[in-house]
Structure formats: C-alpha cells, structure tokens
Amino acid sequence: MTKKNIEYGDGLAKLEKIVDSLEDNELELDKMVSLVEEGLELAEQLKKHLESAENKVQKLKQKYQLDKGDANEMV
Amino acid sequence: MEIPAMTVTECLNALNDVLYTQVVVVEGEVNSYNVSQGKWVFFSLRDEESKIECFAVLYKISTPLEAGMKVRVVGVPGIHKRSGKFSLTINSLELIGEGDLQKAFELLKNKLDAEGLFSLERKRSIAKYPKQVALIASTTSAAYTDFLRILENRWSGLVIDVLDVSVQGEKAIDEIEAAFNYLNESVVQYDAVVLTRGGGSLEDLHAFNDERVARAVARSRFPVVCGIGHERDISISDFVADIRASTPSNAAEILAPDKLEEQKKLDFIRQNIFTLGQQKLNSEQHKIKYAIKSLVAAADAQRDLLFALQRRLAMFANKCEYEIIDHAKSVTVLINRVARTSRDKLIAQHRHLLNLKEKLGLQNPKQILGKGYSIVRGQHGVIKSVSSVAAGEPLQIMVSDGNIDAVVTD
C-alpha cells in the first residue's frame, strides 16, 4: 500500500489488526516496536488521506445517453 | 356521382387510415378495467352520456387502475377489424382524480408488498467505506448538489459515477429504468446506487411511485439507497430500496461515514497504539526488574546457604576438634596406662629376674664350692656314691678356685 493509492477501508482494517496484535500479551518486544511504528505511520497516512483526498464526480452522460437511446428504442 | 363500393376490410382500412393520424387526449372515468394474459389492458372510459373502449399494452400503463378512477389518456383511435369495435389505443395515462394518485399508490404498494419486494430478507447492506458509487439523479436538481455537497463534507476519495436522468415528467420513468439497466450491465463493481430527487407533490414524485421504477430498483445488481423528497415523503421506490434515506442529504449521510468522526477514531487508535506500546514497554521493564530481583534473591539465597554451610562446617570442625582432643586425651591416658603398666611389668620382671638370679646364685656350684664344698669326678663322671669308685681310681677334685688330682686309696 503506497501513500498515494491508499484505500481507507483496507487501511483501517489493517490498522485495527495491528491494534489487535498489540493487545496480545505474548507479543515479542521487537515485533511490538515494529508494529507500533507501522501502526502510527498508517494512522497518520489515513488521516492525511482524509484531509487531502477529494471525491471524484464523473458523469456517465455520453455512454449512458447511448444506452438510454437504446432503451427508448426498445420502448 | 356514384360512390364506389368497398369491401368491409377496405372500408375499415380507409377509416383507420384517417383515424390513425389522429392523436386524442381524453378525460373520463375508468370502467370495466381488465388485464388479459398479463400483457393487454382493456377498460372503458365514460362520462355521464357516453362510453369509449380503450386498449393498451400493459407495459405502457404501469399505473394501477381500478373502476371509478378519473384519468387523462393520450391515444390513437381505430376500429378493430375482426370485431368491428371502435377503441382508443392508449400510449400514456395519468391519474387526474382527487385521491386517485393516493389510491394508485396504495394499490401498487399492496401488490408489491404481497410479492415480497419490501421484505427485510431482500435488503442488502452497503460497505462501511464505499469506494465507488453510482448516482441516479437530475444534475440540475437541488437534490443533486445537496447530495454531493454533503458527501464532500463527509468523505474523501470516493468515485461517483453520475447518471443524469429526468426525475419528473414523461421521460422520467424510462430514463430511470434505463439507468438501472445500464448499471446492471456495467463492468464496474459499485458499492451502492443512489437514487435521489428533491421534494414535491405526489404528482411530482410520480415516477418514484411507478411500478417499472420500483421493479428496476428491486432488480438492481447493487444495493440501492433511495433518498426521495422530504422527510415526510415515502415513495414506493423507498419501500423497495435496500436503504431508505429521508432526504438526498440523508442519503449522503447514510452512504459515507463522517471524516471528522473517522479522524477522531484514528486519533484514538493512535493513542491506543501508543498506550499499548507504552504498557508493553512498562511490562517488559517490570519483567526485567523482576528478573533482576529474582536473580538477587537467588544469589542471596545461595549466599545464605553458603553461610549456613559455613556455620555447619565450623560447628562440625569444632566438634571434631573437641572429639580429637578427647581422643587425644584418651590416647594419652591409654599411653600413660600402657607406659605405666609396661614399667610396672618391667620392674616386676626385673625383680623377678633378681630373685631368679639370687636363686640361681644359690644353686651355682662355684658359689657352693666357695663355701667349702667340692666336686669329685671319677673316670665315669661325678662321684655321688662310694660305690662308684674303685681303689686306685684317679679322681679330680674341683674346689672353688681349681682342681685337685687325687687317687682312691681304699
């Protein structure tokens, strides 16, 4: 997952998995440290994603009107 | 001038040629409504004086009708050749009687409900974080801009494919149905389809109470969020949709989570991760401290054990020392006893020897000879009897200081 094409839902699911892993008392210290780093970085990425990304509105007008014409012809 | 005769068919063809060019709009009351083979609709329109038969394909009359409803129809007149009956072929129909729209609404609602189109089992949920959605709306409507504005405020990174349709008037039903058909064929996997328009009268919202639109919603490959009209407006499409939103804005709220809430959630998760990390570190530190404490305690225990051993050894050594001293004393006593006994024995033996010596001294011939005794030896040894010698036998007489030779004389 790169910073550019991060999927919020997937990222959040991964983040929640990291938190679950961190709640495991048997976790080794080294693994814990890398998970904390990964989790904090991912949370930051997701937050930035929410701040910076915009919704993309694309009109299917042409393609749709063609179909709409077909539909009308059928009628 | 004689009018040429025609056959019946020629006559009807000629009349129909004229009639078919006439489009008429007629208002009247529905009577004898009947649907044949699920395809054809027959009814009559009447007023106080007259009646006209009407025919339509069911597809064009999606409004449920019942006797007594007032309608306005657009149709073409003609004479059915086989029966010779005059009728109107209806192209479109709208309800015009007061309360009839509501009545049609209830009829369709009951019909679709009976078919199970409103059942909860059919309802699908939408992804919590949708990525791509389709929006069926009029791009000139307030509903459209409201929906996108709320969505923009709430969420980011969403792709919205817009299908611009009429939401009112003649084309609305066809366009909305075609839009759903188009999406059903799409290669794109949408998380949801949003069908929306702003508020209006029952007449304005007619398309969304139409059976074809309702069935298009029901057939949708993707979950449908329906946001029609104001809070109080409920359309048939709302009932069929997977999720009913009260308004277009509400549709946006249902569709997308609030990014401010999500940011708060992310902050909470970050804090949680930090806290969990801290707790883990504290726990590890505690473990290390505990381990050190345990080691120290173990070392202390070993030291105590050593001390105890030392003490026991010292005690044992002391005990041994005492025992050795005791033994030494015993040995000394023994030695002393042995020595004393030996000495006494030696003295006794010495005395005994002296006695013996003394006694021996008494028996010594030489000592006896010293007292004046003498030993006489003949030829055959010591003479102890007179008879053991003969006259003339040489004798040797031993005295204390030497021998005297003699001869037996008698």
Chain A neighbors of B277, CB-CB under 8 A: 22, 32-33, 36
Statement: residue A3 has pLDDT above 60? no
Q: B174 and A44: CB-CB below 8 Å?
A: no
Q: How many CB pairs under 8 A join A and B?
A: 124
Q: Which residue has the higher pLDDT, B225 or A9?
A: B225
- Please state, for a pLDDT cut of 70, what percent of chain B lies above it: 100
Look at chain A and count its residues: 75
Give ∠ CA A47-A51-A53 in degrees, rounded to 5: 110
Chain A neighbors of B160, CB-CB under 8 A: 55-58
Per-residue pLDDT reduced to its tens digit, B269-316: 999 898 888 888 888 888 889 999 999 999 999 999 999 999 999 999
Q: What is the structure's pLDDT at A61? A: 63
For B292, B348, B358, the CA distances from B353, given in Å and listed in that order, are 87, 8, 8
Q: Which of A3-12, A28-37, B313-322 has the lowest mean pLDDT?
A: A3-12
Confidence at B61, pLDDT banded by 50, 70, 90: confident
Mean pLDDT value across chain B: 89
Q: Which of A54-63, B78-87, B191-200 has the lowest mean pLDDT?
A: A54-63
Cβ proximity of B123 and B239 under 8 Å: no
Per-residue pLDDT reduced to its tens digit, B353-402: 888 888 877 777 777 788 888 888 888 888 888 888 888 889 999 888 88
**Alpha-carbon gap: B126 to the closest alpha carbon of chain A (Å):** 13
For B5, B35, B72, the CA distances from B46, given in Å and listed in that order, are 34, 18, 12
Helix ranges restricted to H, B227-258:
236-240, 248-255
Cβ proximity of B173 and A70 under 8 Å: no
Statement: residue A2 has pLDDT above 70? no
ipTM above 0.95, yes or no: no
Q: What is the structure's pLDDT at B23? A: 93
Mean of pLDDT values over B88-96:
89
Confidence at A64, pLDDT banded by 50, 70, 90: low
Structure tokens at B167: 């939401």
Q: What is the structure's pLDDT at A71? A: 40
